[in-house]
């Protein structure tokens, strides 16, 4: 039995797990994905490489700033730009080699099991039991859930765990915008102006980025397109070909011939509503914390800060 089981190896889960492990806790992290990182996702398509979830991150909080400073000195992260299509402002950071390399580095040395989908969480009276889709059972003294909130609530409901009354309405009110993400490998360089990222305001697209300009891939021309939340919601179940066509039509000023493409659906892309605290912890029925970007800000920084807050909550008990 571990001291703490963490469901979700996104930035929140990994930040918490590292903090707890640094304090001598035995921690196990499970994730249904094929690799750690969650929405900090990078993948190849041919010789092109794509960041297709989070594109960059910003820094507001001094505690996060100290961590970013350390990652910069390690060569893990770098300033990509001081603004996109607008006048110079605060730094936007990218991860060298792709956004997924940051969670990958944070997972190093931790016990992280991927391709394990939690199906339910139950408090037995003296421990948490998490049953995976495969029938495997994991036991822990404390439980940290960092999946998007509706998914964490479904795990508790499946295990018949009563929600602390102080949480109920606030957690159930948390909703997320979806995002349809198109990964397009081009036959020629894109026409996206330097530094290679552009927020858009049309009916279809919210963002377009040139991954090659960002330094990803080995010679391929990979462009990431993110659809607007309203377009993503109304075209969620459409066949991929029609969605891709509409996204590429609006992107025509920036992209030429497309060699191949892939559509990714982010059901819980970014939270619209936030919980008023950086994590939600409860002693009853057993030590349980919920964390993630819905708790400390709908972005990479918020996820990391929420994970750190969740670890502090657990350590103080």
Ligand X SMILES: Cc1cc2nc3c(=O)[nH]c(=O)nc-3n(C[C@H](O)[C@H](O)[C@H](O)COP(=O)(O)OP(=O)(O)OC[C@H]3O[C@@H](n4cnc5c(N)ncnc54)[C@H](O)[C@@H]3O)c2cc1C
Contact footprint for ligand X (CB under 6 A) = 7-13, 30-33, 38-40, 53-57, 117-118, 146-148, 151, 179, 181, 226, 266, 269-270, 292-293, 298-300, 302-303
Give the rounded distance of the alpha carbon of 315 from its chain centre.
Answer: 24
Q: Which is nearer to ligand X, 29 or 248 (CB)?
A: 29
Structure tokens at 230: 């309203």
Rg (the chain; Cα; Å): 20
CB of 188 to ligand X, least distance (A): 25
CB of 200 to ligand X, least distance (A): 13
Query: 30: which residues sit within 8 A by CB, 6+ positions away?
Result: 5, 6, 7, 9, 112, 113, 114, 116, 118, 130, 132, 138
**249-275: string of b/e by CB count within 10 Å (b at 16+)?**
ebbeebbeebeebebbebebbbbeebb
Q: Which is nearer to ligand X, 65 or 187 (CB)?
A: 65
Structure tokens at 233: 């919601």
CB of 291 to ligand X, least distance (A): 7
CB of 131 to ligand X, least distance (A): 11
CB of 250 to ligand X, least distance (A): 17
Q: Which is nearer to ligand X, 178 or 283 (CB)?
A: 178
Q: Which is nearer to ligand X, 90 or 256 (CB)?
A: 90
CA distance between the termini of the chain: 18
Q: Which is nearer to ligand X, 158 or 259 (CB)?
A: 158
Cα separation of 255 and 251, whole Å? 6
């Amino acid at each position: 039995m571990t001291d703490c089981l963490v469901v979700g190896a996104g930035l929140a889960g990994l930040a918490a797990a590292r903090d707890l492990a640094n304090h001598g806790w035995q921690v196990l992290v499970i994730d249904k994905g094929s690799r750690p990182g969650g929405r900090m996702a990078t993948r190849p398509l041919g010789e092109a490489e794509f960041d297709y979830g989070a594109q960059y991150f910003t820094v507001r909080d001094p505690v996060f700033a100290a961590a970013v400073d350390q990652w910069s000195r390690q060569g893990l992260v770098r300033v990509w730009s001081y603004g996109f299509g607008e006048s110079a402002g605060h730094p936007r950071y990218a991860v060298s080699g792709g956004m997924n390399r940051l969670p990958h580095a944070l997972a190093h040395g931790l016990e992280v099991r991927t391709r394990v989908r939690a199906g339910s969480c139950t408090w037995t009276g003296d421990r948490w039991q998490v049953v995976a889709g495969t029938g495997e059972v994991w036991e822990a003294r404390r439980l940290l859930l960092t999946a998007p909130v509706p998914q964490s609530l479904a795990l508790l409901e499946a295990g018949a765990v009563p929600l602390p009354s102080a949480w109920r309405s606030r957690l159930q009110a948390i909703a997320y915008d979806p995002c349809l993400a198109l990964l397009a490998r081009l036959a020629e360089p894109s026409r996206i102006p330097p530094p290679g990222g552009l927020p858009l305001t049309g009916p279809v697209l919210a963002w377009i980025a040139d991954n090659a300009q960002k330094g990803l891939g080995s010679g391929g021309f990979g462009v990431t397109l993110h659809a607007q939340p309203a377009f993503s919601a109304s075209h969620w179940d459409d066949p991929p070909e029609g969605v891709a066509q509409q996204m590429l039509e609006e992107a025509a000023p920036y992209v030429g011939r497309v060699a191949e493409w892939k559509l990714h659906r982010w059901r819980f892309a970014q939270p619209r509503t936030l919980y008023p605290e950086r994590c939600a912890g409860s002693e009853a029925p057993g030590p349980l914390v919920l964390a993630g970007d819905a708790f400390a800000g709908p972005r990479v920084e918020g996820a990391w800060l929420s994970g750190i807050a969740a670890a502090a909550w657990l350590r103080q008990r």
